[in-house]
Structure 1
Amino acid sequence: MAGDVLEGEDPEQADMMDEMCILVDEGDMPIGSASKLDCHRGAGLRHRAFSVLIFDEQNRLLLQKRASDKITFPGVWANSCCSHPLDIEGERETDDASGVRNAAVRKMEQELGIPIGTISQESLQFVTRMEYEARMNEVWVEHEIDHVLVTRANVEVNPNPNEIDECRWVTQNELEDMVKAHNAGELVIAPWFDLIRINLLKDWWNDIDDMSKHVDGVIHRFIKERPDRAGLSMMERHRVAAEQCIARAIEKSTEPRLAGAMMHLIEGGGKRLRAVLPSLVGEAVGHHHAGHHDLGAAIEIIHNFTLVHDDIMDNDPIRRGRPAVHIAYDMPTAINAGDAMLALAFEMIAESKDIRGDMMRDLVRVIGRMVRNVSEGQQMDMDFENREDMVSEEEYLQMISGKTAAMFETCALTGAMLSGASNEIQQACRMWGLETGLCFQLMDDIIDITGDTETLGKPAGSDVLEGKRTLMAIHALKQDPADLPAFHAIFGKGESGKDLLPKAIEEMNSVGSIEYGRNRAMEHHSAAHIHLRNLEVSEARTILENLTDWQLERMS
């Protein structure tokens, strides 16, 4: 069974979550594979799917009510058959949609009890594709490029009770009655079938025997925009404003070499999450002002200060695809630049014309505590490397709560504070930031292992070579050493072990260490979404929700 997230689920349905789906890009080109579990949880992974519409001689459409034991979207009314082609021989093929047709024939037998050969692959008319997203709850989501297949067949169905609670043949009018019942809350229509019904089916119903005029060769996009698209103007506006604040602050330095060292990482790019989060929270809470830009800029400068010193302590030569500050300049200058950046951040807040004076004490207290927590987390991280005894999972979570999550927590809390939010909303924002930060660091640890140097902008797999006690390493160290010989041979051995690194990562994957880390990231992701429910629905809250999802799909 794949992962703790499936505890309590129907065993047969849980076992099928190990099936490997086909990952696709925006153009529906295969780019790899992933388990059904990973495709449908958290932010989801875009994968290939199909929806079959079976009509009988009376022009009635076969619908199914998904079984209550289904893990995703149980008990909803959907089209005749809907599932996924798998990453197996015969279902990977893309020519003339033969792969999805073969998969449809397989699933019609498994779900509907229609014997193979009763509805041939050739009789399934491939009409169009659509990309859509639909979230069921904080854990489960659909993100598919769905191939829509249409056929006419007089068949008797023998539904698999593990898949289907009920089948029903409906006319157009009867389907409209079901829609009214759906709108009244008396039943639920599956989101993908509802998209087909609204956008496609109404023009098809009378052309079932020859759908050629409806074959369009396009991918219809019915998808909620991602954070890199949705609300882009809002995020870009806040990013630009915060970066202008940063540039003005660093320009105060009368020492050009020091100013250059302070700007080195900032000029290298970065996501600027910490710079924009206070503003996004301010927007979501309902009262944003220019002080949020000063605040975000200050925290972003502090973040970059910690990176400068972190690279020195870890002896990392690369950051954001360019030489680290201590490499581009020298060690003393890098240390001095970091110190100056910390001082500069507090100076910015104190001099802001848009932050009320009566808030200064609380802001300085919260941000000062953040810096201390980050430093304590960093010290724990360094001490872990020299520990001979086992580092516990609880200690690791305490460490990343300080080293990484404290900044997200502080961005969210102070953003709400500046907006004059109630204590309840401030705490909801703070907890969202904390849970998002924990998810962020867990995914960072996974990406360090599964990414590549060019994508990461730093050496891939460096955590294993340096002996970092990540959650995955802690899990691996608890397993039988006989199952991880390469991992134990190179863990903490530095560059001398890089030749065995691919084998070590393969071993960590085989004993479930990477999956364990991903599952824990999922838990914090779900908790973050729950805290956001305390905020009023708005464009800014939607962006925060999308950013929460993005933690699980980012690769840099």
Structure 2
Amino acid sequence: MTGYQIDDVPSMEIDDEFKQILKDSSADSAQVDLMSEAIIAVDESDNELGAISKVEAHHSSGDLHRAFSVLLFDSNNRLLLQKRASHKVTFPNVWANSCCSHPLFSESEREIKDALGVKRAAIRKLKQELGIEEGQVPLSDFHFITKMVYSSRMNEEWIEREIDHILIIKADVDVNFNENEVSEVKWVDQQELEEMLVADVEGDGEIAPWFRCIASRLMTQEWWDSVGDSDKLSKISDDLIHDMGDVSHMLSYAEGAGLNVSIKEVKPLVERRISDSLRASKHSTLSDAMMHLVDGGGKRLRATLPWLVSKAVGDSHSGLLDIGAAIEIVHNFTLVHDDIMDDDDTRRGLNAVHIEYGLPTAINAGDAMLAIAFERLVLAKGLDNKDVAAMVNRLAWMVRRVSEGQQLDIEFEDRIAVSEEDYFEMIEGKTAVMFLTCAEIGSRMSGADDETIQCMADWGLAVGLCFQLMDDLIDVLSDSDTLGKPAGSDLAQGKRTLMVIHALSQDDSQGLADLKAVLGKGDSATQEEIDLGLKALADLGSIDYARERAEMYHSKAHSCLDRLPVNPAIKALRELTDYQLKRIS
């Protein structure tokens, strides 16, 4: 393979889709060839999962993989930096540490003992990128310091998601860089590096996000003082994986990904947390019942929302995925009990839990899920005791408000007079509060200021209200296959949606009579009666009225996002704001 002085570079076959993506990129043929390299996919604990091509690991939502970053110092304690070539597929034209790349999926570079695999990979890449001979950087002179996990998006197409092994070596070397990899090098002392970190440089010549993480968050004075001293370097070495979160905002020209890609980045990580929690019971029937709706799929909006918000307004970390998992478990608990109370037989195209496992087990599963959600919450990474107490209090408040909203929903079915104010109080508790809580917690745990936290809480509330209004509209405007439950079932159950409340306030007419005839009739309602009731909602202007209110909250949510500083992650929040509206537009 181009530029390598080794006999065997493991590679993987790239499918036609990736070949076209690479062809459409601005990278040259040599860089395209390198994207077929087989590198090491890992889990969050840096355990090897298998081989993955470099292109697959970096494209779209990417996959977590092993990487290394070399900090090479000379005898004057100056650090070697490289500016990545314009030919690079990912992050061209940025200043980075001495060498940063990936160990290959080969026997020698997969070895984890004494970090030998990443050290061998470092020697290989120092030669390939910078022309530094192996004899000048012997294996024994490399010191493993620590690891960090981070993600950084360049644009919709390309992302870095790495567990980065940081290595230090002190050596006087001869640099003859490969212009296909590197456009420029320079040696900097501590003061010069600090000046680079605070310089207001955007675009060509700015600092790579991963190197900024190392230099500004990890690289203490002790690191500088320890360079060249094996004993001191051994003392600062640790086995930690420092959680940097998503650092896309550190690159001025970074472009955010859309909602689907942004969710896909962390959805498997959240779902693993959910499954680990719900599968922990030794009672398989209980575990299966709790997992029934989770296994049925779902977009995981609530589960990923704390993470998505934190990226948009501050710093993110993996503890937000634990919080999201806890909220998603609560959400699924409410669905299990909702289906019992509403006497719904199906959910997400599956039998409801009480149909599949029986009523007693369904009730028990819901109760267990609520307890497990709080277990998941208190185990969240990156939270101190004060944070945990605040999160428990806020999640408990959310559950209480959801229960209050559900109680109003139950009582409305037997009440003749339900006002719009009553309805909005109900949906705020039953639906919107969960979005509000996700947004508020995500911004609070990101370190945002009080004004931003309130802004995001307002956004979450507006999105949640719009979401429920649109959900009510979808029930009357979609078919049963799309819904995963009978179309118009809310009418037959007597649900007091905004459309129904509006229609009941109109003057007497045949349409109003048709609506009243089916409202609350339950299983005895015929399809013809349901269809007449749905037609009445349209004829009485009630569907348009509800849509107008949904659009009002949609606009309010966007106005909240307009108040935020520019950040690439806001793109996903805007798409989420539009999500329900587009389903029936």
> Does the alignment reach a TM-score above 0.5?
yes
1:441 paired with 2:481, answer no
- CA–CA distance in structure 2, aligned partners of residues 240 and 538 of structure 1: 24
- CA–CA distance in structure 1, aligned partners of residues 564 and 292 of structure 2: 37
Determine the structure 2 residue equivalent to 1:325.
353
- CA–CA distance in structure 2, aligned partners of residues 314 and 345 of structure 1: 23
Determine the structure 2 residue equivalent to 1:514.
543
- CA–CA distance in structure 1, aligned partners of residues 311 and 422 of structure 2: 35
> Which range moves more in the overlay, 434-443 or 544-553?
544-553
Contact 1:269–1:320 under 8 Å retained in 2: yes
Residues 231 and 454 of structure 1, relative CA distance in 2, 3 Å threshold: closer
- CA–CA distance in structure 2, aligned partners of residues 419 and 286 of structure 1: 5
1:376 paired with 2:400, answer no
- CA–CA distance in structure 1, aligned partners of residues 418 and 372 of structure 2: 36
Determine the structure 1 residue equivalent to 2:499.
472
> Which range moves more in the overlay, 318-327 or 492-501?
492-501
Per the TM alignment, residue 352 of structure 1 is displaced from its structure 2 partner at its CA by 2.1
- CA–CA distance in structure 2, aligned partners of residues 327 and 232 of structure 1: 32
String of CA shifts for 1:460-515, please: whole Å, max 9, x gaps.
10111111100000001111232422111111111322322112211210110000
In the TM superposition, 1:123-522 aligns within 5 A as 230=258, 232-388=260-416, 390-484=417-511, 485-498=513-526, 499-522=528-551
In the TM superposition, 1:51-130 aligns within 5 A as none
- CA–CA distance in structure 2, aligned partners of residues 425 and 363 of structure 1: 18
Per the TM alignment, residue 555 of structure 1 is displaced from its structure 2 partner at its CA by 5.3
Per the TM alignment, residue 310 of structure 1 is displaced from its structure 2 partner at its CA by 0.2
- CA–CA distance in structure 2, aligned partners of residues 473 and 546 of structure 1: 29
Q: Which amino acid aligns with 1:398?
A: E
String of CA shifts for 1:288-337, please: whole Å, max 9, x gaps.
10001000000000000000000000000000000000001010100010
Q: Which amino acid aligns with 1:504?
A: G
- CA–CA distance in structure 2, aligned partners of residues 321 and 520 of structure 1: 29
Contact 1:483–1:511 under 8 Å retained in 2: no
Residues 231 and 550 of structure 1, relative CA distance in 2, 3 Å threshold: closer
| Matched-pair identity in % | 52
Q: Which amino acid aligns with 1:418?
A: M
Contact 2:306–2:438 under 8 Å retained in 1: yes
- CA–CA distance in structure 1, aligned partners of residues 366 and 584 of structure 2: 27
- CA–CA distance in structure 2, aligned partners of residues 539 and 531 of structure 1: 16
SS of 1:539's partner is: coil
1:532 paired with 2:558, answer no
Contact 2:480–2:487 under 8 Å retained in 1: yes
Contact 2:259–2:576 under 8 Å retained in 1: no
Per the TM alignment, residue 399 of structure 1 is displaced from its structure 2 partner at its CA by 0.3
Contact 1:282–1:288 under 8 Å retained in 2: yes
List structure 1 segments (4+ residues) > 4 angstroms apart after TM superposition.
none
- CA–CA distance in structure 2, aligned partners of residues 457 and 539 of structure 1: 34
- CA–CA distance in structure 2, aligned partners of residues 441 and 280 of structure 1: 20
- CA–CA distance in structure 2, aligned partners of residues 231 and 537 of structure 1: 17
SS of 1:348's partner is: helix
- CA–CA distance in structure 2, aligned partners of residues 497 and 326 of structure 1: 22
Per the TM alignment, residue 234 of structure 1 is displaced from its structure 2 partner at its CA by 2.7
Determine the structure 2 residue equivalent to 1:523.
552
Contact 2:314–2:443 under 8 Å retained in 1: no
- CA–CA distance in structure 1, aligned partners of residues 295 and 259 of structure 2: 24
- CA–CA distance in structure 2, aligned partners of residues 241 and 357 of structure 1: 24
Contact 2:259–2:575 under 8 Å retained in 1: no
Contact 1:392–1:474 under 8 Å retained in 2: yes
Contact 1:349–1:355 under 8 Å retained in 2: no
SS of 1:427's partner is: helix
Residues 229 and 542 of structure 1, relative CA distance in 2, 3 Å threshold: closer
Structure of greater relative contact order (alpha carbons < 8 Å, 6+ residues apart): 1
Per the TM alignment, residue 356 of structure 1 is displaced from its structure 2 partner at its CA by 2.2
Instruction: Give the TM-score taking structure 2 as reference length.
Output: 0.55
- CA–CA distance in structure 2, aligned partners of residues 332 and 263 of structure 1: 16
- CA–CA distance in structure 2, aligned partners of residues 309 and 409 of structure 1: 22
Per the TM alignment, residue 342 of structure 1 is displaced from its structure 2 partner at its CA by 0.5
- CA–CA distance in structure 2, aligned partners of residues 399 and 406 of structure 1: 10
Question: What is the Cα-based RMSD across aligned positions, in Å?
Answer: 1.7
Residues 229 and 282 of structure 1, relative CA distance in 2, 3 Å threshold: closer
- CA–CA distance in structure 2, aligned partners of residues 280 and 448 of structure 1: 28
- CA–CA distance in structure 1, aligned partners of residues 382 and 297 of structure 2: 27
String of CA shifts for 1:326-377, please: whole Å, max 9, x gaps.
0010101000100111100100111223222221111111111000000000
- CA–CA distance in structure 2, aligned partners of residues 296 and 445 of structure 1: 25
- CA–CA distance in structure 2, aligned partners of residues 231 and 482 of structure 1: 44
Contact 2:274–2:325 under 8 Å retained in 1: yes
Residues 344 and 394 of structure 1, relative CA distance in 2, 3 Å threshold: same
- CA–CA distance in structure 1, aligned partners of residues 535 and 262 of structure 2: 41
Q: Which amino acid aligns with 1:346?
A: F
Contact 2:257–2:568 under 8 Å retained in 1: no
- CA–CA distance in structure 1, aligned partners of residues 271 and 532 of structure 2: 42
Per the TM alignment, residue 251 of structure 1 is displaced from its structure 2 partner at its CA by 2.2
Contact 1:405–1:434 under 8 Å retained in 2: yes
> Which range moves more in the overlay, 258-267 or 543-552?
543-552
Per the TM alignment, residue 231 of structure 1 is displaced from its structure 2 partner at its CA by 5.3
Q: Which amino acid aligns with 1:404?
A: T
Contact 1:487–1:505 under 8 Å retained in 2: yes
Q: Which amino acid aligns with 2:520?
A: G
In the alignment of these two chains, the number of paired residues is 329
SS of 1:361's partner is: helix
- CA–CA distance in structure 1, aligned partners of residues 456 and 371 of structure 2: 26
Residues 325 and 486 of structure 1, relative CA distance in 2, 3 Å threshold: same
String of CA shifts for 1:263-312, please: whole Å, max 9, x gaps.
00000011210001000001001201000100000000000000000000
SS of 1:481's partner is: coil
- CA–CA distance in structure 1, aligned partners of residues 503 and 532 of structure 2: 14
